[in-house]
Amino acid sequence: MIGFFEVVDRATTGPSCSEKDYDLRVFAKKLLEVVKEYDIRYDPDNPIPSDDSLADEVFKAAMSFYVEVGTYCLDTERIIKFTEEEIKDALKAAKASVPFGGGRETKNFVSRTPESKVPPWCSVGPGGIAVSSDEIFSSLMQSYVQLIPLADSVCTACLTSVDGKPIRINTPLEIEGAIRNVNLAKEALRRAGRPNLPIVNGVATAVSAEAAIAGGSLLEPSDSFEIGSIAEMKIDYNLMNKVVYALSTNGKILAGCGPLLGGYCGGPEGLAVATTAYTFHALLVQRGAIYHPYPVHYRFLCNSERQLLWACSLSYQAISRNSKMPVLVLGYAASGPTEKTAFYETAATTLANVVSGASIEVQGLAREKTDHLSPLEAKLATEIAYSVLGMKRDDANNVVKRLLPLYEDKLDKPSLGKKYQECFDMNTKTPREEYKKLYEETTKDMEDYGILMC
């Protein structure tokens, strides 16, 4: 596998191209071509496909696509390109098992395959969603860990202020916010009785590399950094600087990628290919140990929508059938806490992802709504994930087809529900009675659908 500084060099020596031309004449144009060439067709009647040959064709299409488009560097306006042989070498170098955590929490994150009986990795937490205060951050983090015994790792929230002062990027407040982010999370884990549970999204509050380094210095080797990318298929020096720091500390990298349905990826066919191709970008450019995709709908801002379910399921099948790269999928609902539709959306995405060979992270809203978080959706997801081990894709498809009508017509104007402090007791870190009853009702529904064993 080529070294990272060769990648950095190619950012200055690769083909010159304007960002607009890359978006329209390189990325979007080539994506349309490979979708047609490999005859990839969306099937709205089957949100969880089960055609192995189709999944393999998506992987081949993704390889052909990435060889042509590479990764675009915004700072140099050049394309970082790789040969097919280099991509295949990177795939061979990927590890199928990655250790996390310490002490009793030590566990390997392992890759899976479709319909696998191997338990998925279950990551829980706010996952970078904004919270308004240190108090809410701490209570929220502790409640996730206390309420979800199946959690293998946590992902932290993002602080928006320091002592009431709004955080601005590239200011001392961002540095302080990043340091506080890690310290508060570690203290919450200690109070929850699981101090060695790994943090997998590094420093959620940090945008700049400087802040990520400041907060990252407080992480353990058993934790990991999350390093994102820029849609579509782009990187910049700020993100690459984070990679250098993570690699220098032997830190594991969670490679986050958020392709957009309805943007330059086009429809579900293009999204399936692009999401698969991001695996190569994650390995070669972000240097990820774990691939962390979170595709979203351009309008609904979720991935529980029918087209998203199909594209994501197909992509994760393609990746898990043709590589060793572990995949941790971030699930987004359109509805918020205390809405039953949020539970149904969570059930659909969890089921689709687990039977397709992925592991799960459940976050809730992708919309910018401060404090709109709850551990109960993640708790439901982990319990479903373990209940459906070994389930056939056809059976899962039938369940999802029953779940979709329960929320599909509400995606356009979803209810955002309540804030954490409104539906949880901040002191006991437990749900208020009304919300608890709603959760219990939902688990009975999931029993009836055959995807939860209470």
Convert the pLDDT of each residue in 112-140 to its tens digit.
999 999 999 999 998 888 999 999 999 99
Convert the pLDDT of each residue in 219-244 to its tens digit.
999 999 999 999 999 999 999 999 99
pLDDT of res. 366: 58
Look at residue 119 and tell me if it is in a domain. no
Look at residue 384 and tell me if it is in a domain. yes
pLDDT at 50 over 60: yes
pLDDT of res. 155: 95
Tokens of 343: 């539970």
pLDDT of res. 369: 82
Alpha-carbon Rg for the chain in angstroms? 20
Look at residue 301 and tell me if it is in a domain. yes
Convert the pLDDT of each residue in 141-188 to its tens digit.
999 999 999 999 999 999 999 999 999 999 999 999 999 999 999 999
Q: Average pLDDT, stretch 269-279?
A: 98
pLDDT of res. 318: 98
Convert the pLDDT of each residue in 357-387 to its tens digit.
999 998 766 566 899 989 999 999 999 999 9
Look at residue 109 and tell me if it is in a domain. no
pLDDT of res. 127: 86
Look at residue 150 and tell me if it is in a domain. no
Q: Which domain holds residue 378?
A: 218-359+370-448
Convert the pLDDT of each residue in 286-335 to its tens digit.
999 999 999 999 999 999 999 999 999 999 999 999 999 999 999 999 99
Least confident of 94-103, 358-367, 413-422: 358-367
pLDDT at 454 over 70: no
Look at residue 21 and tell me if it is in a domain. no
Average per-residue pLDDT for the chain: 96
pLDDT at 356 over 80: yes
pLDDT at 100 over 60: yes
> Tell me, what CATH number does 443's domain have?
3.20.20.460
Q: Average pLDDT, stretch 98-105?
A: 96
Look at residue 70 and tell me if it is in a domain. no
Look at residue 112 and tell me if it is in a domain. no
Task: Name the residue among 427, 417, 400 with its Cα closest to residue 365.
Answer: 417
pLDDT at 278 over 60: yes
- Indicate the number of domains in the chain: 1
Convert the pLDDT of each residue in 401-417 to its tens digit.
999 999 999 999 999 99
